[in-house]
Structure 1
Amino acid sequence: MRDTWPYAPPGFEVPPISQKKVAEKPEVGYISTMTRFILPRYILREHVGPFFFGFAVITLIFLLNLLFRELSRMLSKGLPWNVVVEFFALNLAWIVALAVPMAVLMAALMAFGRLAADNEITAMKASGVSIYRIVTPILFAASLIAVGMIWFNNAVLPDFNHRARILAGDIARKKPGVSIEPGVWYKSIPEYGLLVQELADSVQANGKSAHPNGITIARNLLIDDHSDPDHSRTISARRGYIELNPALGALVLTLFDGEVQELDFTKLEELRHVSFTKHVLSIVVDDMFLRRSESEYRGDREKSAPQMRQEVQANQQLIGESLKVLNEHVARDLHRALGTTFGAAGAAPTNYKPSARADSLTAVERQQRLSALLLSVRQTLYNIENQLTIVRSYERTNKSLLVEIHKKYSIPVACLVFVIIGAPLGFMARRGGLAAGGGLSLGFFLLYWASLIGGEDLADRQFISPFIAMWAANFIVGALGLYLLRRAAKENVTMDLTKLLWWRK
């Protein structure tokens, strides 16, 4: 049977309606499950690139600063390349600890700024997606990063700092290598002087070493030897080999065709002359070689949080013992002088005998008794001051340790704080791009880091508690971020970051 149009002319027929089945729609729950993760994945992908870019740039800046500061000193000491690489690799640990939170801030500013500039944030809000839902996946990712950084700060950073400090000390103790110039007296070796007229590395024209150890060839050498206080020795040679021997820890001079002139200060009328065809002179120069050392001592930045907590507890016990000793000293001295402890804790001596009444004493006896009392008071004050000095020393140590403990947690938590402050700033940013985002993140991080340094100094001076010193910056920046985030969720607030790029005008 065919359908016809109601107002079709007579005889006009309409093709039959297709009877094909329409494909069944998927279940609503499946669609909602799929769409639920599309937006978080998209927002996370927008942050991956800026995060790794910011991390690479910040790490490079720190490395270049360290490179310019330390490289010339290392090269002047003739260190092998593997030691130089190890030094910079060990210092990467503290660079990573600082670069990761800053990279999180830069990623939040750049990613959310790009989404706001392309009106994608406006489209999400028009679709019923709240600002809080947009920020939630980044907060979750920042939480994972913070947990990882807490582990890093307690498991990796202390060992790297410890090894870096030991290596830096070994490098500092090493003196620069032998740098001999023709025609110039070399006097960097104590009690020796060396003059060489001609120098040539033992390398042939084909690039191969003429000597298996690459020893420097020298001609017309003159050596002043004052190592013996009773003798003065001068050695001259037509030619020789100069070699730094790490196994011997010495500068080995192999001399040919020369003579030794020796003057005995006890017999100035005598001068010895000894000719030789070959003479080997070894001068000990241990400090010209890098000697790797080990140390069990660890500073507060070379310990994990559990290790520092144990030290704080041990110091608290020592403080209690010092106060107990102080109370015992005070109680004993008071009881000895006055016959009572005035409630001071501590065992009073049991063999105390009351002194005679003052009116029954002669003037000399009263003077002696007063002198003894003053001496006892001075001794008591000295003991009090000594014990209080010990107590204050332990308290300062505990303050420094507590500052480092809180720092190991407050800096990783800054990843969350920087997302909270970076997201609303990104929402409000319509223009500005990479330069403005990077500059703004740098400014916030410098302000944050200055707050940490100032708080640490105040805590070390015992003006504020270590908790406030290390967490105040997080609380202040976090509170500001929450305010801006709430404002961005309620209003369509924008901010032109191109005003920060004043140098482009």
Structure 2
Amino acid sequence: MKITDKYILSKFFYILAFSLLAFIIVVLIVDIIENIDKFIDNKAPVYLIAQYYILYLPFITVLVIPVAVLLATMFTIGGLSRYNELTIMKASGMSLYRLSVPLLTSGFIISLIIIIFSDFVMVPAEAKRDWIKKTQIEHRADTQGLLLTNVIKPGKDGWVIFARSYNEKTKTVEGALVQKIKSNRIEASIRANTMVWADSGWILTGAVKRIFDGDKEISFNKYDTLFASFLSQTPELMSHKAKKPRDTRFFELLELIQLKKIMGQDTARDRVELYLKFSFPFINFIIILLGIPLASNPKRAGGSVGLGLSVIISFLYFVILRAGQSFGYNKELSPLLSVWIGNIIFFAIGAIMFFKARK
């Protein structure tokens, strides 16, 4: 790594760290002001509030880091341009393209780190934060041990449990319908009065089992009791409350999509959230590509101008991103295109400006 690369990166990461910290503090202050009345009304202890906001930090970091990256790019390149360091570097034989390599590489690495960080840190932290908010701060009753109704739980090999009710305490299902669904066709159907968990599997009582070949029923059997070892749904899974797709880890969401496809359910919203887990982090790379040519112009190298452009560009990106998500949810765009369209637009604009910029 050349001395110029180290110099550029040191300035970039210093500004990035400062910007990220500043944005996080601003978001925290705004959120505390909005929720202070709730904390006081619920008599939430300070340590619990502190734990709540510590768990909030990963989400805030993922949300604001693109703005911080753009601001760091604008101030790094803008500073070099404003103090004629960029001109000196160019005079020594280094092009703007070469000077951009360490920043673009850093942007790509940051994008990969955010993908991993979001899945392994942010999602679990958000689940814990939500639990603290509902049960410890707002004192809502924990739903553990309640009677769940109209439960649908897909499992492995296409087996799906439909339950009129499920008692979490006794691990008992009333009014059970178990079906094996492949390629939107029912291959087997078992209707039972009750299902009870017995250590290693479900025992069905008063069961009627039917096997199908296409639209034709080829087998019909009745059982007083039937041990359903083929069901992968454990009591823990039966009690598991459905999470929002954005609050689900990547492979969990991928498995959910596959199970929904087997059941013939719509997966558009889930696929939008799945692809978003990759598309959003990569704006950290694209935003650097866009910021370099903007900041290399001496007229736009000023601090206030750089800050203003960063805010405007970030706002436009989030507007396009949310609009794309909405189109994806409503199937007006494919799920993949709906979450990448913002990146495509900004990448195209950034690439054109980058290659048109003065070398």
Distance 1:79 1:427 in 2: 50
Q: Is residue 294–residue 300 contact of structure 2 (8 Å, CA) maintained in 1?
A: no
Q: Which residue of 2 aligns with 1:482?
A: 351
Q: Is residue 272–residue 328 contact of structure 2 (8 Å, CA) maintained in 1?
A: yes
Distance 1:53 1:301 in 2: 28
Q: Which of the residues 311, 316, 328 maps onto 2:256?
A: 311
Q: How far apart are 1:295 and its partner, in Å?
A: 6.1
Q: Which of the residues 408, 417, 436 maps onto 2:286?
A: 417
Distance 1:453 1:172 in 2: 30
Give per-residue Cα distances to partners, 1:138-165, cap 9 Å, x unaligned: 1111111111101011111111121122
Q: Which residue of 2 aligns with 1:101?
A: 66
Aligned residue for 1:129, secondary structure, equals coil
Q: How far apart are 1:47 and its partner, in Å?
A: 0.7
Distance 2:66 2:56 in 1: 17
**AA aligned opposite 2:13:** V
Q: Is residue 79–residue 301 contact of structure 2 (8 Å, CA) maintained in 1?
A: no
Q: Which residue of 2 aligns with 1:55?
A: 20
**AA aligned opposite 2:65:** V
Distance 2:262 2:330 in 1: 22
Q: Which of the residues 117, 121, 124 maps onto 2:86?
A: 121
Distance 2:358 2:274 in 1: 36
Distance 1:454 1:98 in 2: 17
**AA aligned opposite 1:94:** F
Distance 1:120 1:76 in 2: 56
Q: How far apart are 1:317 and its partner, in Å?
A: 0.9
Where does the alignment leave 5 or more consecutive residues of structure 1 unmatched? 1-35, 176-293, 320-393, 491-505
Say whether residues 1:452 and 2:311 are aligned partners: no
Q: Which residue of 2 aligns with 1:172?
A: 138
Q: Is residue 417–residue 477 contact of structure 1 (8 Å, CA) maintained in 2?
A: yes
Q: Is residue 300–residue 306 contact of structure 2 (8 Å, CA) maintained in 1?
A: no
Distance 2:247 2:77 in 1: 37
Give per-residue Cα distances to partners, 1:296-315, cap 9 Å, x unaligned: 54321221111111111111
List structure 1 segments (4+ residues) > 6 angstroms apart after TM superposition. Answer: none
Distance 1:152 1:146 in 2: 10
Give per-residue Cα distances to partners, 1:316-345, cap 9 Å, x unaligned: 1111xxxxxxxxxxxxxxxxxxxxxxxxxx
Q: Which residue of 2 aligns with 1:473?
A: 342
Q: Is residue 81–residue 296 contact of structure 2 (8 Å, CA) maintained in 1?
A: yes
Say whether residues 1:158 and 2:103 are aligned partners: no
TM-score normalized by the length of structure 2: 0.69
Q: Is residue 166–residue 295 contact of structure 1 (8 Å, CA) maintained in 2?
A: no
Distance 1:47 1:139 in 2: 11
Q: Is residue 51–residue 106 contact of structure 1 (8 Å, CA) maintained in 2?
A: yes
**AA aligned opposite 1:400:** R
Q: How far apart are 1:136 and its partner, in Å?
A: 0.3
Say whether residues 1:46 and 2:31 are aligned partners: no
RMSD: 1.8
Aligned residue for 2:358, secondary structure, equals helix
**AA aligned opposite 1:125:** K
Q: Which of the residues 37, 41, 46 maps onto 1:81?
A: 46
Give per-residue Cα distances to partners, 1:463-496, cap 9 Å, x unaligned: 1112111111111111111111111135xxxxxx
Aligned residue for 2:279, secondary structure, equals helix
Q: Which of the residues 120, 142, 145 maps onto 2:107?
A: 142
Q: Is residue 47–residue 111 contact of structure 1 (8 Å, CA) maintained in 2?
A: yes
Q: Is residue 74–residue 301 contact of structure 2 (8 Å, CA) maintained in 1?
A: no
**Pair 411,429 (structure 1): closer, same or farther in 2 beyond 3 Å:** farther
Aligned length: 261
List aligned pairs for 1:264-275, cutoff 5 A.
none
Q: Which residue of 2 aligns with 1:91?
A: 56
Q: How far apart are 1:431 and its partner, in Å?
A: 5.6
Q: Which of the residues 426, 431, 442 maps onto 2:311?
A: 442
List aligned pairs for 1:205-216, cutoff 5 A.
none
Q: Is residue 77–residue 174 contact of structure 1 (8 Å, CA) maintained in 2?
A: no
Q: Which of the residues 271, 276, 293 maps onto 1:402?
A: 271
Q: Is residue 162–residue 298 contact of structure 1 (8 Å, CA) maintained in 2?
A: no
Aligned residue for 1:311, secondary structure, equals helix
Q: How far apart are 1:173 and its partner, in Å?
A: 4.1
